[in-house]
Copies of this chain bind each other. A is one copy, B any other.
Amino acid sequence: MEYLNKEVILKSYPQGIPQDQDFQILDTKVSDALNPGEVLIKNLFMSVDPYMRGRMTGRRSYVDPFPLGEALTGGAVGRVIASQRADLPVGSLVNHFSGWRNYFVAANDRSDLKKLPEISGLTPEIWLGTLGMPGMTAYVGLLKIANLKSNQRVFVSGAAGAVGMLVGQIAKIKGCYVVGSCGSDEKASYLKDELGFDQVINYKKAPIRDQLAKVAGEGFDVYFDNIGGDHLEAALDFMKDFGHIAACGAISQYNATKSVAGPANLMQIVAKRLTVSGFIVSDHSELHDEFVRDMSGWLREGLIKDRTTMFYGIDQAVSAFRGLFLGENTGKALVNLEN
């Protein structure tokens, strides 16, 4: 039997915010006539993440650029619908890196393909968000990289994003005072009223530094930076001595078409004896089991709330991705590919 498949091809490296014409949806067919060791997977959900923008350039970053003319890749959750592998029978829920398509055949040497446990009360797509890469990024960045302690004061930028939302909630679990920044009043209310952030600022309303000055109090022990640019500059001015900055990303820069100057106050790093640590979650896989244990426990206890902005159908994948840079999504942005 053959399945009608669609996959998203990268046609050109975007200049600035990615546009529809940088992508193309290709119709293909995928057969269930498998060789030994192969499985046929139907994707249920695919992830769009800001780091993917960094791969849509001709320059090598910490991962290779996406090749032009080929289907994009990224985190996804699917179900095995035909199998020549005893360990992955039909019906298995799997996590893998072949997003941006409906169906695909995976050979038996696929190291990214992992069978997921089916835990009652947990949706399959949670493995792309709270129990997936964004959740682990928040967990590792806050607890390992920034070495957060109970009762510290934390500032997180991009606080309504997939990672930021979890950073704030983990910090609250640890008894910290949490200030977040986001780009709309609606998001700000959600973070404060639903997730228990202590203070939230809408950076679109007034200069971030002025707003941060009003809520910083004695300053921050930890800044979790998803944004870079003016957020980083403001945060530097309100760090406490010996504070720690976990540098997770700089979404404010990802679509820059020309060089954007950095903060003018980096001397604060010396004066305040700050440590700024860049990190990438995939370097810390030794913490994965501990992360899943803690995070699934927090979810069960209701200490962590999950939130998703869901798009439907692979035709919406590019819109979902663009939305990351337009501030349109709250929480984890996913594309539902079930139908």
Closest Cβ–Cβ distance, residue A242 to chain B (whole Å): 8
With both beta carbons as reference points, the residue of chain B lying nearest to A258 in the complex is identified as B264
Bound-state CA distance A248–B262 (Å) is 19
Asked if A261 contacts B259 (CB within 8 A), the reply is no
Bound-state CA distance A253–B241 (Å) is 21
Q: Does A287 contact B (CB under 8 A)?
A: no
Asked if B279 contacts A283 (CB within 8 A), the reply is no
A residues contacting B by CB (< 8 A) are 54, 61-62, 228, 232, 241, 247-250, 253, 259-280, 283
Asked if A276 contacts B276 (CB within 8 A), the reply is yes
Asked if A270 contacts B249 (CB within 8 A), the reply is yes
Task: Report chain B residues within 8 Å CB of A273.
Answer: 62, 277-280, 283
Asked if B283 contacts A278 (CB within 8 A), the reply is no
Task: Report chain B residues within 8 Å CB of A250.
Answer: 266-267, 270
Asked if B260 contacts A62 (CB within 8 A), the reply is no
Task: List 18 additional contacts besides A247-B266, A261-B263; criterion CB under 8 Å.
Answer: A62-B241, A62-B272, A232-B266, A248-B270, A249-B270, A250-B270, A259-B264, A262-B262, A262-B263, A263-B266, A269-B277, A273-B283, A274-B277, A275-B275, A275-B276, A275-B277, A275-B278, A276-B276
Can you show 15 pairs from A to B with CB atoms below 8 A apart? A54-B271, A61-B271, A228-B267, A247-B266, A249-B270, A261-B262, A262-B266, A263-B266, A268-B278, A271-B278, A273-B277, A273-B278, A274-B277, A276-B276, A276-B277
Interface centre among A54, A62, A228, A276 (most CB of B within 10 A): A276
Task: Report chain B residues within 8 Å CB of A263.
Answer: 261-262, 266
Asked if A270 contacts B261 (CB within 8 A), the reply is no
Bound-state CA distance A232–B262 (Å) is 11
